[in-house]
Structure 1
Amino acid sequence: MTDVPGARLLDLVAVMDRLRSPGGCPWDARQTHASLLRYLVEESYEVVDAVENGTREELRDELGDLLLQVVFHARVAAEDPAEGFDVDDVAEAIVAKLVRRHPHVFDGEVAAEDLQARWDAIKATEKQRESVLDGIPLQLPALARADKVLGRLQRAGLAEPAEPTGAQDPVDEEAVGERLLELVRVAHAAGVDPEAALRTATRRLERAARERESAAGPARG
């Protein structure tokens, strides 16, 4: 009989339990949430690299490494005597979240025209956020964080989308990459740290947006 999808995940949980239990691996037993963070970040970037440059086999292996980090953190969390949770709690929480945030799939609601904006609105209600910008990690790379901030503000109507360019000035991945590279080249020549400069500009945008939110009332998404 063929195993149901996900059956091998139980094997991974069992292996992780063995590694963390008495008689298991001393290195694995020493790890904490904090000590594992570097590996979580590294494995995430290795998945990105596999998607962009690797083979299907490499992607499969890197996804396995990333999955291990989730199971590892859940196993560490299960050992907390005061606020413990395990991998089943993690899975239960994400299943419930996906169902809540897809009412057009699970609750008979008509699909919103802008599904991302609807997702943001449900998320804001769940987390009782005061601003559409709450919850964006400060640790994100500057470019990823700027993109996240702009996306949130545009969907909430707090920032205008970029004006479309003419046919003579196409916008595609290659063109955007070249423009960004040119900005980095200019910054380097001027002795400016482009990462720091973008972080500063994004913070200014956030402050202005939060002031507009405060004047307008509660968060809209």
Structure 2
Amino acid sequence: MNLFIELAMNPPEWLLFDPLLRVLTIMTILRSPQGCPWDREQTHKSLKSQLIEECYELLEAIDQEDPSSIKEELGDILLHVLFHAQIAQEAGKFSFWDILDSLSAKLIRRHPHVFGTQTASTTDEVYQNWEKIKKKEKPHRESLFDGIPLYLPALIKAMKLQSKASKLNLDWKDPQGPLSKMQEELDELKEAYGEKNREKIKKEIGDLIFSAVNFSRMLGIDPEEAIKESSVVFEKRCRFIEKELKASTPSENPEDLDKLWEKAKEIYP
């Protein structure tokens, strides 16, 4: 193993031309008895939350249009792929090379209009082909709703469920439908609040948000992106007010805070 460590730290010229082999060597070392205690202790399950965190960090880097950060975060996600592959290989399940082979086969299989005889000149045609291919690949899925990940963020999952339901014609004809439903759910929420019924309030809040997602979907707006942008603006306004309050004598007068809020809205519309 000392030889592997030497190769990883001071790679010969031939290894420098194969960075993938070098990083696989490093991962093997980290998981070895001569490696890192923390790395050796990790399992597929213990790495789950960290992988989710890395994905969100990549999304943030993409939104910031920061190539350096995007490169770093992609590397962190690749590290998790290597980590899971190494754990599986040690258990005799599969290797990183098996992942690559499987991925290559899948890409070719799902692009018959590129690697086969089928044709697809539009994105819609490509999507229709994919749906047919996926049905053949996963015949055990009996429902349209099978395959929707359990751990998706709630807004994304709601949107996917609604999209699947639309294929059964369980959908509104136009955005006015869910818009009217939002008003109906808001009225029911007000009623539940008046009754001080906590469980009913919770249900009606969920129904209201679900209807808002439906409305957003029918307009082609990603609700996850919409709420994220609203949160960013809200934070900027709050930070502005926080800074203003620190620079002056704190006021508990609601009218003064209202004026600051209006000023913040002008700066961050």
**TM-score, with length taken from structure 1:** 0.68
The aligned amino acid for 1:50 is A
Aligned to 2:116: 107
Is residue 152 of structure 2 the alignment partner of residue 140 of structure 1? yes
The question of whether the paired residues in 2 share the 8 Å contact of 1:112 and 1:118 is answered with no
Matches of 1:67 and 1:194, distance apart in 2:
40
Matches of 1:65 and 1:122, distance apart in 2:
31
Aligned to 1:94: 103
**TM-score, with length taken from structure 2:** 0.57
Is residue 71 of structure 2 the alignment partner of residue 60 of structure 1? yes
SS in 2 for 1:34: coil
Superposition CA RMSD, Å: 3.4
2:135 to 124, 135, 142: 124
Deviation at 1:14, TM superposition (A): 1.4
Name the CA shift for 1:194/1:103 in 2 (closer, same or farther; >3 Å).
farther
Matches of 1:75 and 1:37, distance apart in 2:
15
Deviation at 1:54, TM superposition (A): 5.0
The question of whether the paired residues in 2 share the 8 Å contact of 1:47 and 1:63 is answered with yes
Aligned to 2:55: 44
Matches of 1:45 and 1:53, distance apart in 2:
12
The aligned amino acid for 2:39 is D
The aligned amino acid for 2:174 is E
Name the CA shift for 1:161/1:126 in 2 (closer, same or farther; >3 Å).
farther
Is residue 86 of structure 2 the alignment partner of residue 75 of structure 1? yes
The aligned amino acid for 1:76 is I
Matches of 2:34 and 2:203, distance apart in 1:
49
Structure showing greater radius of gyration is 2
Structure 1's consecutive aligned runs of 4 or more residues displaced over 6 angstroms after TM superposition are none
Deviation at 1:11, TM superposition (A): 2.0
Aligned to 2:34: 23
Aligned to 2:232: none
Which structure is higher in RCO with an 8 Å CA cutoff and minimum separation 6? 1
User: Which of the two has greater helix per residue?
Assistant: 2
Matches of 2:204 and 2:36, distance apart in 1:
40
Deviation at 1:116, TM superposition (A): 1.8
The question of whether the paired residues in 2 share the 8 Å contact of 1:124 and 1:132 is answered with no
Deviations 1:41-89 (A, max 9, x none): 11011111111125110111011101100110000011114xx101011
Deviations 1:73-123 (A, max 9, x none): 000011114xx1010111111111111111111112111752223212211
SS in 1 for 2:45: helix
Identical aligned residues as a percent = 41
Deviations 1:184-216 (A, max 9, x none): xx89x9565589826x969xx9xxxxxxxxxxx
Name the CA shift for 1:130/1:11 in 2 (closer, same or farther; >3 Å).
same
Matches of 2:204 and 2:76, distance apart in 1:
29
Matches of 1:25 and 1:100, distance apart in 2:
39
